[in-house]
Every structure is written in C-alpha cells, then in structure tokens.
Amino acid sequence: MSEMNKAAASNDLEFKTAMRNIGKYFQYKWSLMKKAKVYYAFIAPYALVFITFTVLPVLIAIYFSFTNFNMIDRPSWVFIDNYYALFIDDDLFITAIKNTLLFSVITGPVGYLMSLGFAWLINELPPKVRAVFTLFFYAPAISGTSYVMFSYIFSADEYGLLNSALLNWGFITEAVPWLQNEKTVPFCVIVVSLWLSLGTGFLSLIAGLQGVPKDLYEAGAIDGIKNRWQELWYITLPTMKDHLMFAAVMSITGSFGMGAVITALVGFPSPNYSAHTIVHHLEDYGNTRFEMGYASAIAVLLFLLMVVCNELIQKLLRKVGT
Amino acid sequence: MAIRIFRMKAGNRVNRRVSGDIGVTLFLVIFAIIMVIPLYFAIIQSIKPMNELYIFPPRLYVTSPTPDNYADLFRLMSSSWVPFSRYVFNTVMITAVGTFGHIILASMAAYPLAKYRFPFSQGFAKMVRFALMFNATVLTIPTYIIMARLGWIDTYFSLIVPAFGSSLGLYLMQNFMADLSDALFDAAKIDGAREGLIFWRIVMPNVKSGWLTLMIFSVQTLWNTNNSMYIYSEELKTLPYAISQITSGGYARAGAAAAAVVVMMLVPIIVFIISQSNVIETMSKSGIKE
C-alpha cells in the first residue's frame, strides 16, 4: 500500500515538475516574443494581407478538395473521393501528369541552367555591355503577351516565319502545321517556354553574381584556383546559394505552372490533348465546369508535386561547391 | 608569381584567357539575337503597311514603314464606350499603388525575418516560400468568397491589396537582406538608433538593388493584370483587357495586334531599363558589396 502511495507521489511530483517545465518553456517563449514585439509590428501589415489572401484561400482550397462543391449548394464532405477519382477514373488527368512532367523535366532544368549560364557569362562583361545583354535576354519574359508572336512564327501556312524559312532552304517541301499537329505541339511548347524561362530567376542570379565580393577571386587565385570553371564551382556558386535556391523555386513554379501560354498558342483543348497540363485540367474543372472540390484536389496534388520537387532540388543545391 | 601579381592588378580578371573571352562574347551575341527575334518581329509587323504584311516569303524588314497600325489600334480603342484613357488610368493606378505598397510591406516584413530569430519567424518564412508554389488559379474561388465577405467585389481594392502580400517580394527581399553584414546594424545600435530608423536609413538604402529588382517584377505582373473575376464594371477594367478585346479580331487586325504587343511591352521594358541602370550605378559606386 505504502509502495503504491510512494509511486503515486513520485508520479505526481514528476507531473508537477513537467508542468512547471512546460510553464517555464512557455514563459520563456513569451518573454522572447515580448522582446521581439517591434519585429512583429514590422511583419504585421504584410502578414495580415498574406494570411487573408494566400494562407486562408489555400486552407479553404484544401478543405474543398475533400468535398463536393459546385458553387451553389453547400459543400458536402466526401473525404478522398476526389483523389480516388483522379487516379482511378480520370485518364485525362494521367495524360496531364505525363505532359506536365515531360515539359517540366525538360524546361525546368534546361531553363535553370540557361539562366545561370547566361547570367554568369553576362556578369563578366563591362557594365554598359552587360546592361544591353541583360535587357536582350530578359526582354521576352518581361514583355507581357509578346509570346503570341510565336503563333505567327509557327503559323501553319507558308506565311509562317519558320515554315517559309524551312521551305526556302529546302528542308521541307510543304508547310508544316506546327501548332496543329500533335507530334510537333510539345516541341513548340518547349521552345516557347524556354524562350520565356530567363525571367525572375535569371535577374535574381545576375544580382547575386554582382554581390560576390571581387577580392574572393583574388584570394582564390592565390589558393590555386586555375580556371573559370573552378572559380565558378568553388567561389561564385557557394557565395550566392540563396539566389540559386530562389531561382530554383521560380523555375519549378514556372515549369509546373505552364498553362496560359500553351492555351494562347495551341488553344484549349490542345490537339489530341498533346499539351494538356495539370494546370489546364485544373482550369477546366475550376473555371468551366465549376466542380470546385475536384479542381481543388487537382491543385493540392500539383502543390504537393512542386513541394516534393523543391525539397529534392534544395537538397541538391546544398551540395554545390563541395 | 610575378605574372600572377600583375594579372591580379587588373581587378576581377584573374583566371581569364582572351580566346575564352572572344568565344563567350560570340556565343552571347548569337543567343541574344535568337531571344530578340520574336520581339523584333513584333515591332516590324507593327509598322508594316497592309500590303507588306502578306508578302511571301515574310520579310524581317520593312520597306515603307507606317504608323497606320498604331493609329488603327487607338481608333479602335477610342470607339469603345468607356474612354480609352480610363483603361490606361486603371492600369497605371493599379501598377503604381500595388508596386509601391508591395515593396514597402514586403521589405518591412523581410527585415526582421532576415536578420533576427524569434518565435514563429522561421515558420512564417517557410510558409511564404511554400506559398510560392501554390497555383493561383485554384485560389480564385476561395479568394472570391473572402472578397465578397469584405465587400471588395468590383472595387480597386480587390486588384491592389492582394498584390501587397504577394509571396515573391518577401522571399526576394529576405534573400537580399540576409547578405547585409551585421556590422552595419551593430554600429547603428551602439549609436542608439531605433529599429524603424535602422530599417529606413540603413537597410533600405543598402538593398536598393533588391527593391529595384522587385519593382521590375511587380510592375511587370501588375501591368499585365487582365480581366479579373472580381471586377464587373467596365470603368474598372484594365488596359490588357481592353487590348485583348481588340486583338482577338484575327488576321484582319494582324497589324493592330502586333502594335498592341509593342504597346504592352513598352512600359515594363522602360521600367526595367531605368531601374537596371540604377542598379548598375549603385554597384559600381559602392564597389564591393558586403
């Protein structure tokens, strides 16, 4: 009996100390927070807008993905039915995943390496020349709807720039309907998205390169760095890791989020769904059919795909310079 | 060794060969031409008279340039029942206010997140980075619901305020501010400067290249704000919307469509040139950024 009492007492004591420790932990956290109240004030205006128009909509979208919601009736809880239907009953979704992966596996890494490569080479030039080249490379991404010019370049008749050039040089004997043939559509889409890929990430990489202190290179030369490749790998890239990661995120969102550009070029639906991406599928259900639950499930899957991809790439980037 | 010291005096030109430099320049020139061809083509098409637009083979030059297509574009625009100037005003207003607010709010939030650690700071920063990856399309419906609750449907607020909290800006400014050296702040703190003053007088001038870059991104996005589902009134609609109504006319308006592309790309490119020259100026002035 006394043994049990003792055990209970020690349990009680343990519990009390634990509670006191937890209390202390929160007190400590609270004191930290009180100390940081100026910083919270700094963040507050942005956080308010960000939470209202980004976090809240994302949470609502995640909730919708488990419901059946047509915008008129109240959403009804269906749990994972939407996800189940996507993978089991929706062949077009599988096509969309395949196309999205095909496009992003090519345009993501190639676009990223293009951004990095051009930014690096441009950075070597004298300032005035550098400004001109930066403008030329960055202009496509910045100039709004200029990609519609590709519908003239890839035009199906012989007035199309590409067709007329190829006809003139004798590579083809009759005009190719570039944007109407399901075999050539992926090629055109990849060309245009690579053309557009020197965007936000590219500019951030240029800024990052300019921030690398010049004396590091001199120190590196003394330490035995022999050529520009070693310089790039051991000095330049490690110093601008944040910019590398930022550019990677931008190229992931860009390559997985392709939709509007494709629609402008080949229309929706694309010839035999040869350029049907996850974003198209999402827009189809969200904006046309108003099956919001289903559309939200697509969005959540797309989001997860990007997050996983991002984590993998961030892991890879941490190895830079080692 | 002597050679090496001599080489080092030439600034950042260590480890470079002349042959490599020539090759690099040639390579860049070729790719720059490839990148610019479609834009050049848009400009050329926009100043071609009707009969030159349909010559076979299509030409990359123009024999008798004409401003007709631009006149055509503006004539078509002024015939709409909302005055053309209203669309321009809307877009300029949204772009200017949205960009300014975004730069201020995002920079303010980025400063403590980049330089200090306190409860929830890392979590919040991570959340913003994740938000970059959520597709905007699906957010339109939940956002619509929120806008309706706020009573912001069919107001400028619905277009401008969400732009303030775009995740890109915070992430970018945080990256730039993380590069600033701590010595900069310590000195100011010893002098007894308050955080607000440090932010305004020390942080912001030192990340000028950061917010000029952000300005480029923000202007480019907001300038292209098309028809939003939160806006019904024609008087509140934007320039890209008005232009897209005109250019959907097909081949008959091919010239005017090219002119529209040129008009729309002009403003972001001018903003870019101005801010870029500023960035380069600050870079060369300060020499080494710490």
Question: Which residue of A61, A148, A253 is in closest CB contact with B133?
Answer: A253
> For the residues B242-262, what does the mean pLDDT come to?
73
Per-residue pLDDT for B4 more than 60? no
Residue of B nearest to A165 (CA): B57
pLDDT of residue A111: 92
**Structural domains of chain A, count:** 2
pLDDT of residue A259: 79
Q: What is the 3-state secondary structure (H, E, C) of chain A?
A: CHHHHHHHHHHHHHHHHHHHHHHHHHHHHHHHHHHCHHHHHHHHHHHHHHHHHHHHHHHHHHHHCCEECCCCCCCEECCCHHHHHHHHCCHHHHHHHHHHHHHHHHHHHHHHHHHHHHHHHHHCCCHHHHHHHHHHHHHHHHCCCHHHHHHHHCCCCCCCHHHHHHHHCCCCCCCCCCCCCCCCHHHHHHHHHHHCCCCHHHHHHHHHHHCCCCHHHHHHHHCCCCCHHHHHHHHHHHHCHHHHHHHHHHHHHHHHCCCHHHHHHHCCCCHHHCCCCHHHHHHHHHHHCCCHHHHHHHHHHHHHHHHHHHHHHHHHHHCCCC
> For the residues B65-78, what does the mean pLDDT come to?
80
Q: Which is higher by pLDDT, B281 or A150?
A: A150
Angle, alpha carbons B161-B165-B169 (nearest 5°) = 130
**DSSP state for residue B203 in the 8-state scheme:** I
Please say which residue of A77, A107, A122 terminates a domain: A77
Q: Do B137 and A158 touch (CB under 8 A)?
A: no
> For the residues B207-234, what does the mean pLDDT come to?
83
pLDDT-based confidence at B284, cuts 50/70/90? very low
pLDDT digits (tens, 9 = 90+) for A267-276: 777 788 888 8
pLDDT of residue B7: 41
Least confident of A156-160, A298-302, B281-285: B281-285
Tell me the percentage of chain B whose pLDDT exceeds 70.
84
Query: In this structure, are A24 and A102 located in the same domain?
Result: no
pLDDT-based confidence at A17, cuts 50/70/90? confident
Q: Which is higher by pLDDT, B107 or B225?
A: B107
Q: Do A144 and B264 touch (CB under 8 A)?
A: yes
Q: Do A214 and B121 touch (CB under 8 A)?
A: no
Q: Do A249 and B162 touch (CB under 8 A)?
A: no
Give the number of other CB atoms < 10 A from CB of residue A322: 7
Domains (range + CATH), chain B: 2-66 (no CATH), 74-286 (1.10.3720.10)
Q: Do A161 and B58 touch (CB under 8 A)?
A: yes
Q: Which residues on neighbouring strands pair with residue A67, listed in sequence order?
A: A77
Please say which residue of A57, A77, A97 terminates a domain: A77
Q: List chain A residues with CB under 8 Å of B135.
A: 257, 279, 282, 299, 302-303
Residue A82 in any domain: the answer is no
Query: In this structure, are A177 and A53 located in the same domain?
Result: no
pLDDT of residue B137: 67
pLDDT digits (tens, 9 = 90+) for A219-233: 888 887 778 788 888
Closest C-alpha to A61, from B139, B166, B165: B139
Query: In this structure, are A133 and A275 located in the same domain?
Result: yes
**Chain A contact probe: residue of B19, B115, B135, B264 with most A CBs at under 10 A:** B135
Query: In this structure, are A124 and A212 located in the same domain?
Result: yes
**Chain B contact probe: residue of A49, A72, A151 with most B CBs at under 10 A:** A49
Query: In this structure, are A238 and A268 located in the same domain?
Result: yes
Which H or E element spans position B123?
helix B121-131
**DSSP state for residue A67 in the 8-state scheme:** E
Q: Do B195 and A38 touch (CB under 8 A)?
A: yes
pLDDT-based confidence at A110, cuts 50/70/90? very high
pLDDT digits (tens, 9 = 90+) for A115-149: 999 998 888 788 788 888 888 998 888 887 778 78
- CB of A181 closer than 8 Å to CB of A271: yes
Q: List chain B residues with CB under 8 Å of A242.
A: 175, 178-179
pLDDT-based confidence at B108, cuts 50/70/90? very high
- CB of B172 closer than 8 Å to CB of B210: yes
State the smallest CA–CA distance between residue B165 and chain A in angstroms: 5
In the structure encoding, which two tokens stand for residue B187, read together? 């000195």
pLDDT of residue A114: 92
Query: In this structure, are A243 and A299 located in the same domain?
Result: yes
Q: List chain A residues with CB under 8 Å of B168.
A: 200
In 3-state terms chain B splits into helix, strand, coil percentages (rounded to 5) of 75, 0, 25
Per-residue pLDDT for B11 more than 50? no
* Most confidently modeled range among A182-186, A221-225, B75-79, B166-170: B166-170
Question: Which residue of A142, A159, A259 is in closest CB contact with B58?
Answer: A159
**Chain B contact probe: residue of A43, A59, A74, A169 with most B CBs at under 10 A:** A43
Residue A165 in any domain: the answer is yes
- B275 alpha-carbon distance from chain centroid: 10
User: Omega into A269 within 30° of 0, i.e. cis?
Assistant: yes
Please say which residue of A53, A77, A101 terminates a domain: A77
> For the residues B13-27, what does the mean pLDDT come to?
75
- CB of A205 closer than 8 Å to CB of A243: yes
Q: Which is higher by pLDDT, A14 or A304?
A: A304
Least confident of B17-31, B49-63, B92-106: B49-63
Query: In this structure, are A59 and A100 located in the same domain?
Result: no
Residue A16 in any domain: the answer is yes
Q: Which is higher by pLDDT, A156 or B71?
A: B71
**Residue-range definition of the domain harbouring residue A279:** 88-318
- CB of A57 closer than 8 Å to CB of A49: no
Residue A11 in any domain: the answer is yes
pLDDT of residue B287: 39
pLDDT of residue B10: 42
pLDDT-based confidence at A113, cuts 50/70/90? very high
Q: List chain A residues with CB under 8 Å of B12.
A: 214, 217
**DSSP state for residue A149 in the 8-state scheme:** G
Residue A129 in any domain: the answer is yes
pLDDT of residue B30: 92
State the smallest CA–CA distance between residue B270 and chain A in angstroms: 10
Q: What is the CATH number of the domain that holds A262?
A: 1.10.3720.10
Tell me the percentage of chain A whose pLDDT exceeds 70.
98
Question: Which residue of B28, B137, B240 is in closest CB contact with A279?
Answer: B137
What is the average pLDDT value for chain A, to the nearest integer? Answer: 84
Q: List chain A residues with CB under 8 Å of B21.
A: 124
Question: Which residue of A46, A159, A220 is in closest CB contact with B106?
Answer: A46
Report how far apart, in Å, the C-alpha atoms of B215 and of each of A46, A147, A200, B105, B276 are: 17, 22, 11, 13, 10
Query: In this structure, are A119 and A253 located in the same domain?
Result: yes
Q: Which is higher by pLDDT, B283 or A195?
A: A195
pLDDT of residue B1: 35
Residue A83 in any domain: the answer is no
pLDDT of residue A1: 54
First-last CA distance in chain A: 64
CB-defined contacts A:B, below 8 A: 288
Q: List chain A residues with CB under 8 Å of B240.
A: 144-145
pLDDT digits (tens, 9 = 90+) for B161-212: 988 988 888 988 888 888 787 887 777 777 777 888 888 888 888 888 888 8
Q: Do B141 and A200 touch (CB under 8 A)?
A: no
How many whole angstroms separate alpha carbon B257 and alpha carbon B249?
Answer: 8
Q: Do A36 and B112 touch (CB under 8 A)?
A: yes
State the smallest CA–CA distance between residue B232 and chain A in angstroms: 17
**Chain A contact probe: residue of B138, B244, B264 with most A CBs at under 10 A:** B138
Question: Which residue of B58, B135, B284 is in closest CB contact with A257?
Answer: B135
Residue A197 in any domain: the answer is yes
Closest C-alpha to B176, from B129, B209, B220: B209
pLDDT-based confidence at B29, cuts 50/70/90? very high
Query: In this structure, are A137 and A261 located in the same domain?
Result: yes
> For the residues B25-44, what does the mean pLDDT come to?
89
Query: In this structure, are A38 and A116 located in the same domain?
Result: no
Q: List chain B residues with CB under 8 Å of A210.
A: 209, 279, 283, 289
Q: Which is higher by pLDDT, B176 or B103?
A: B103
Query: In this structure, are A36 and A95 located in the same domain?
Result: no
B98: amino acid identity, one letter: G
Query: In this structure, are A106 and A73 located in the same domain?
Result: no
